[in-house]
Structures are given as structure tokens and as C-alpha cells.
Amino acid sequence: MSESTDRQVKADSLGVGLGVGLYGISFGALATTGGLSVAQACALSLLAFTGASQFAFLGVIVAGGTATAGALTAVLLGARNTFYAISLAPILRVRGLRRFTTAHLVIDESTAMALTRPTVHQSKLGFYWTGLSIFIIWNLMTFVGAVAGNAIGDPKAIGLDAAVAAAFLGLLWPRLDTATTRWLAFIAGAVALGLVPVTPAGAPIIVGGLLAVAIGLVIGKSAAQVGDE
Amino acid sequence: MSELWWGIIAVSFGCYLLKLAGLAVPEHILEHPFTVRAAALIPVGLLAALVAVQTFSTGTQLVLDARLAGLAMAAFLLWRNVSFLPMLIAAAATTALVRLFW
């Protein structure tokens, strides 16, 4: 890794940008088949610009939940970006107006491509090239997907409702790397399903999800040790 | 303006401010072991709940239908390290085929 040149860092970043940006098409298509307008799908990608939160908002709306429940779930998921930004702050050292534009690019992939670099210079390259290329391609592909989604008659006939579940599973998968997180994920899912018949749509997701977080925090230290196995 | 638009504005503002906070607020205020751990666990809990609800329910009813076949296909492909977009398409196609032939 220490041998990598600036050019390689840029090429790697563009590769990640292209790969991740492309699945903006799935967000766009699922958004309009789920009842959002093309403008609403594009607004989310432009302004929220954090995939998991966008899918979560959509998921709650599709499940029949309120916009408030959807927004709450999405913003809770966005909290991890705060901690990415904390790790990035001493590397990027952005001040003034630059801070406001840089903040928008803080997402999973730009953080990963920055923190794995040996020098500050290459970390910055990785962050901005990854962040900007994802931003551009993700937004273009959201628009393409949203327009295409509008043309689809019955989303269930082509299994798009299953694709929403698969998208969440894809985002969850890399986090299931320890026994603790697998158990907590199981508890969150089970509690959420238990609540489905007795609470308004949207509530099971928030309550089930946060209950698992609370359990994870209570078992605290022992869980951290298990997590290190 | 519709409720949906207000939700989109709230998501956008909330997510942006959370990003900005990490760059702007002094590290020691946010970087408490408790908050760091909570931030790592929140995506696990919420995404798992979203997977469950999106697969096994419709509105306020629990249902078992063709979506389960799609999710099983997704899990298999993720286990085989297939990338995101082909995995989604295969999951959707699996569910669509089950619906067609059952």
C-alpha cells in the first residue's frame, strides 16, 4: 500500500465511485415504484446523500409508515457519519466554507478510501476522488433509475419489493462480522416482527432496532470482548 | 407541501448536520466510548429490523410469501461475495419467478 502512487489512489477511488454510484439506479427505481416522485428521489440523493438512510426512509414509507417515522429511522442511521467525520477531521483539516462542502461527502466509502492511505496527501486524494465520483454518478443513476421505475407497471410482478429487503441485507451484511452483531441483528428483527401486528407501521423498525442497540450497550464490555474474537 | 416532502427535508437536514458535526465539534465532546459504540450498533439494529419488516410483513400483518425466496437468494449471493447490483437483480428475479409459477 505504501508503494501506491497518486495515480493508483485516484484510479482506485474512481473504481469504487463507479461501482457504488451505479447502484443509485436501484435506489431511483425502488423510490418511484414505492410511491416517491422522480423529484423526491433525486432530492434525497442530492441533499441527504447517504445511501443507507435513503433506503431506510424509503423502506418505512413503502411499509406504510409515516414520513416522520421514516425520517427518524433515516437520521438515526446517519449518525455513523458523525463518527466517520471525527476520524477524518484531523486528516482533512478543513476550515471555513470548505468545511460545509466537504461535510456533504462524508459517507462510508469516502471514509474507507481515505483512512486506509499511508499519507495525509493520499488520504485527501482518496476522500475527495471517491466522494465526488460517487456524488456525481449516484445522482445521475438515481435520476435514470427513478425515470425507469416510473415506467414499471406493477413493481411486485418483477420482485422489486424483495429487492428492497435485499438492499437492506446487503448494507447489513458487512456489519455481521462478529457473533455479537449477528445476535443483535437477530433480536432486532425478531422484536420488530413481534411488534408489526400491534403497532403503527414504522414503529417496529425504530423500536426493534433501538432495543437491540440498548442490549448491545448494556452487555457493553463483555460484548466488546466477544466482538474482538 | 406534502408530508413526504417535509420528511425528505428533515432527512436531508438531519443527515447533513450529523456529518458537519463530526468535522466541526471538538473531538472529545463526541468521542465517548459509549457514543462510539452506540453509533456502531445503530446501523446493525435498524438495518436488521428493516430486513425483517420488509421481508415478512405487509402493513400491520405478518406474511410469508415469495419475498422470502428473494431474500434467501440475496443471502446466498452475499455469502458468495457477489456485488450489490447483481445481487439485487437476482433477488428480485427470484421473487418474480416464484410469483409467476406458484
Contacts with A162 from chain B: Cβ below 8 Å: 55, 66-67, 69-71, 74, 91-92, 94-95
Concatenate the DSSP letters of all residues of B52-94 into one string.
HHHHHEETTEE---THHHHHHHHHHHHHTT--HHHHHHHHHHH
Rounded Cα distance, A103 and B23, in Å: 7
CA dist B14 → A90, A202, B8 (Å) = 23, 18, 10
Q: Which of B7, B53, B73 sits opposite A205 (nearest CB)?
A: B53
Orientation angle between helical segments B67-79 and B84-101, nearest 10 degrees: 150
Closest-CA residue of B relative to A26 is B85
Report CB contact under 8 Å: B42, A213.
yes
Closest CA to B96 of B67, B74, B71, B72: B67
How many CB contacts within 8 angstroms connect chain A with chain B? 327
Q: What is the pLDDT along chain B (102 residues), one digit of tens a residue?
A: 699 999 999 999 999 999 999 998 877 777 788 888 888 899 999 999 999 999 999 888 999 999 999 999 999 999 999 988 899 999 999 999 999 997
Concatenate the DSSP letters of all residues of A73-91 into one string.
HHHHHHHHHHHHHHHHHHH
The predicted structure's pLDDT at residue B40: 86
Report CB contact under 8 Å: A48, B59.
no
The predicted structure's pLDDT at residue A53: 95
Contacts with A25 from chain B: Cβ below 8 Å: 85
Rounded Cα distance, A79 and B100, in Å: 41
Phi, psi for A36 (deg, rounded to 5) = -85, 155
Contacts with B42 from chain A: Cβ below 8 Å: 76-77, 79-80, 209-210, 213
The predicted structure's pLDDT at residue A223: 46
Q: Which of B7, B15, B45 sits opposite A70 (nearest CB)?
A: B7
Mutate which of B41, B65, B76, B100 to test chain A, going by most A C-beta atoms within 10 A?
A: B41
Query: Position A60: which residue type?
Result: V
Q: Which of B9, B23, B54 sits opposite A165 (nearest CB)?
A: B54
Mutate which of A20, A23, A86 to test chain B, going by most B C-beta atoms within 10 A?
A: A86
Q: What is the pLDDT along chain A (229 residues), one digit of tens a residue?
A: 445 789 989 998 998 898 889 889 999 999 999 899 999 999 999 999 999 999 999 999 988 889 999 999 999 999 989 989 998 998 999 988 999 999 999 999 999 899 888 899 999 999 999 999 999 999 999 999 999 998 887 888 889 889 989 989 998 999 999 999 999 999 999 999 999 999 988 899 999 999 999 999 998 755 444 444 3
Report CB contact under 8 Å: A165, B70.
yes
Report CB contact under 8 Å: B70, A163.
yes
Contact yes or no for A132/A14 (Cβ under 8 A): no
d(CA A132, nearest CA chain B) in Å: 15
Closest-CA residue of B relative to A63 is B59
The predicted structure's pLDDT at residue A2: 47
Orientation angle between helical segments A51-62 and B3-24, nearest 10 degrees: 150
Give the three-class secondary structure for A196: coil
Q: Which of B10, B74, B93 sits opposite A170 (nearest CB)?
A: B74
Contacts with B27 from chain A: Cβ below 8 Å: 86, 89
